[in-house]
Amino acid sequence: MTRCLFIPCFLLIVFLTAFSAFAADDAAADDKLPAWIAAEGAVALKDGWLGPGNYFSITKIILFIVIFWLFVYTADWINRDAEHRHVEERETQNLNFFLVYVIGSAAAFYIPIFWVAYPVTVLVWIVPTIIYVRERNKVVQEHEKVWTHDHLALVTATLLSKVGIKMKVQKRAVYEGGVPVEVKPTSKKLDKATLDARLILSRNSPGFNDFRAYVYDGILRNADSIMFDFTPQNTLVRHQIDGVWIEIVNVPRSTEKGKQKDKLEFALEAGKMLVGANVEDRRSRQGGTFTATVQKTKYNCEFMSQGTQTGEAVAIQLSRDKVAFKSLEDVGMNPVFQDKLRTNLNAKKGLFIISAPPANGLRSSTDVFIRSSDRFTRDVTAVEDEQNKYNDIENVLMMRYDSSKGETPITLLPDIFFKEPHAVILRDMVNTESLNLCLKEINNSRLIITTVRAKDAAEAILRIAAMKADMQLFAAGLNGVICQRLIRKLCPDCKEPFQPS
């Protein structure tokens, strides 16, 4: 909302204030006076601006001007705050805030009693402001909330300091500014004290806010991965979106005066500190994990760095905790394929392979497929690695092995098959022993469902066959294979047509 809108609004308010509302309570009484008294009042008006009825009240004008400028300041702050947080409805929000105040203030001028009209003007300013602040505080981090006890204490201390009065208050740290994303290191092998120490070390580094900004940008663009390619001449930042690498920015290497590193290098160091990697090591392969939280949505992030011939490459993989799809219709599958898929998923026995190209939604597709199968009239058990967990699904018994301890699916499969489940879901087929055991169990009326990453259905079969399993059992037990790639659909409300090259 531009400030030029407030100039005519302000003049209108002053005009209406001077000639209607401020005289309303007294003028209403004067209308009831006899004609000869009104005539006497008209003569008395010649002696001063106020007149006998105080028609022109400076005090009342000042009170209304104060509320008006409070409205101007609030509207300007709401606009800047919404723009900073990338609120899509910012323009509509600004217009609604403006119209509520203008219409409400204009209506208040027709109320004949000043001490009734003035509170109405205050309400049409303060109520929309409170609504915005309440909704805003629900989606921002704790240190970004306004009108809280800590925030009001900070504002009070700042104002008092300008007149020489010092007030002790906990100021916000530098790391609490910047983009609205909260990052925290994670590890199953480290205690909370060690993780907190990593976070504090990273927060105190000069590139912490820049590191958060690059992670936040990747989240906003719905990227699956963020890649930084450091060379002596420049730094290339790319995002992987729907399996396609897109160049976001190519920044020439330039350092500020007195510094030997640029912003991206400082951001890289902050990321390494966060995951516990060696900052000075620019050649070895290093990595770790952390979480990034944006508006209560948590992303599990894997940080990897590796030296290259021209410098260093850094990759950050992003994955959400929540499943975006719940049904086959959600993933865009037509009814004919749905029927064929359910036939294979609900078969009494056999091997069914689910595949997808890398970074093209294999996890999401598999979750939806399993949810669409019969999990209520038969026993279904899933096997997965403790180091690579998937989402829990109702009525599916989850069994996990720990690959960090040298375990494989074969560690659990004999006990699982001993309990005679109708179907077994093996998310990742990692060795030949597990595959051969599953193929043998098909003869015991068992349905085996597994996943593999492949470019098409034929390659998925070849990848399983390349594990050197018993080919006769494999050929006899294979029921079907599906290869599906998920692509992101354009928003029906904001998509725009364009002429491709």
Separation between Cα atoms, residue 427 and residue 370, nearest integer Å: 11
Predicted pLDDT at 302: 92
pLDDT tens for 117-158 read: 888 999 999 999 999 988 888 776 666 778 787 777 777 777
**Residue at token pair 């015991």:** 444
3-class SS of residue 57: coil
Instruction: Retrieve residue 218's tokens.
Output: 């990747």
Predicted pLDDT at 185: 94
299 beta partners: 292, 320
Confidence of residue 2 (pLDDT cuts 50, 70, 90): very low
Predicted pLDDT at 447: 94
Rounded mean pLDDT of 318-323? 70
Which residue type does 5 have?
L
pLDDT tens for 450-492 read: 999 999 999 999 999 898 888 899 999 999 999 988 887 787 8
| Contact status, residue 447 vs residue 422, Cβ threshold 8 Å | yes
Rounded mean pLDDT of 7-24? 49
Indicate left, alpha or beta for 192 from its phi (over 0: left) and psi (-120 to 50: alpha). Answer: alpha
Strand 447-453: give its sheet, edge to edge: 397-401, 380-385, 423-428, 447-453, 350-356, 478-483
3-class SS of residue 251: strand
Residue 23 in this model has a pLDDT that exceeds 70: no
Q: What is the pTM of this model?
A: 0.54
Closest CA to 479 of 452, 443, 448: 448
Percent of the chain with pLDDT over 70: 83
| Contact status, residue 61 vs residue 19, Cβ threshold 8 Å | no
382 beta partners: 398, 425
| Contact status, residue 318 vs residue 292, Cβ threshold 8 Å | yes
* Residue 313: how many other CB atoms lie within 10 Å: 16
Separation between Cα atoms, residue 35 and residue 37, nearest integer Å: 5
Confidence of residue 3 (pLDDT cuts 50, 70, 90): very low
Give the β-pairing of 380-385 and 397-401: parallel
| Contact status, residue 372 vs residue 415, Cβ threshold 8 Å | no
**Residue at token pair 């359910």:** 342
**Residue at token pair 């007195």:** 258
Instruction: Retrieve residue 176's tokens.
Output: 């609490």
Helices 90-108 + 58-84 axis angle, to 10: 170
pLDDT tens for 201-213 read: 999 898 899 999 9
Decide which of 293 and 22 is more confident.
Answer: 293
Confidence of residue 111 (pLDDT cuts 50, 70, 90): confident
Strand 297-307: give its sheet, edge to edge: 182-186, 286-294, 297-307, 312-320, 225-230, 234-241, 244-252
pLDDT tens for 212-255 read: 999 999 998 888 899 999 888 888 999 998 778 899 988 887 77
Confidence of residue 200 (pLDDT cuts 50, 70, 90): very high
Residue 191 in this model has a pLDDT that exceeds 60: yes
* Residue 258: how many other CB atoms lie within 10 Å: 5
User: DSSP per residue over 418-468, as a string?
Assistant: HT--SEEEEEE---HHHHHHHHHHGGGT-EEEEEEE-SSHHHHHHHHHTT-
Predicted pLDDT at 42: 53
Predicted pLDDT at 324: 64
Predicted pLDDT at 364: 85
> CA triplet 428, 433, 436: central angle to 5 degrees?
90
| Contact status, residue 377 vs residue 371, Cβ threshold 8 Å | no
Long-range contacts of 140-149 (CB under 8 A, 24+ apart): 140/85, 140/180, 140/295, 141/176, 141/180, 141/182, 143/172, 143/176, 144/176, 144/180
Predicted pLDDT at 339: 92
Three-state secondary structure string covering 221-244: CCCCEEEEEECCCEEEEEEEECCE
Rounded mean pLDDT of 249-262? 74
Separation between Cα atoms, residue 436 and residue 429, nearest integer Å: 11
Separation between Cα atoms, residue 116 and residue 425, nearest integer Å: 70
Indicate left, alpha or beta for 54 from its phi (over 0: left) and psi (-120 to 50: alpha). Answer: left
Separation between Cα atoms, residue 158 and residue 166, nearest integer Å: 9
Backbone φ and ψ of 172, nearest 5° = -75, 135
Predicted pLDDT at 242: 76
Exposure class string for 451-467: b at 16+ Cβ within 10 A, else e:
bbbbeeeebbbebbeeb
Residue 173 in this model has a pLDDT that exceeds 80: no
Please, what's the largest Cα pairwise distance for the chain?
Answer: 118
Confidence of residue 312 (pLDDT cuts 50, 70, 90): very high
Decide which of 43 and 445 is more confident.
Answer: 445
Report how far Cα 37 is from the mean position of its chain's Cα atoms: 70
Residue 62 in this model has a pLDDT that exceeds 60: yes
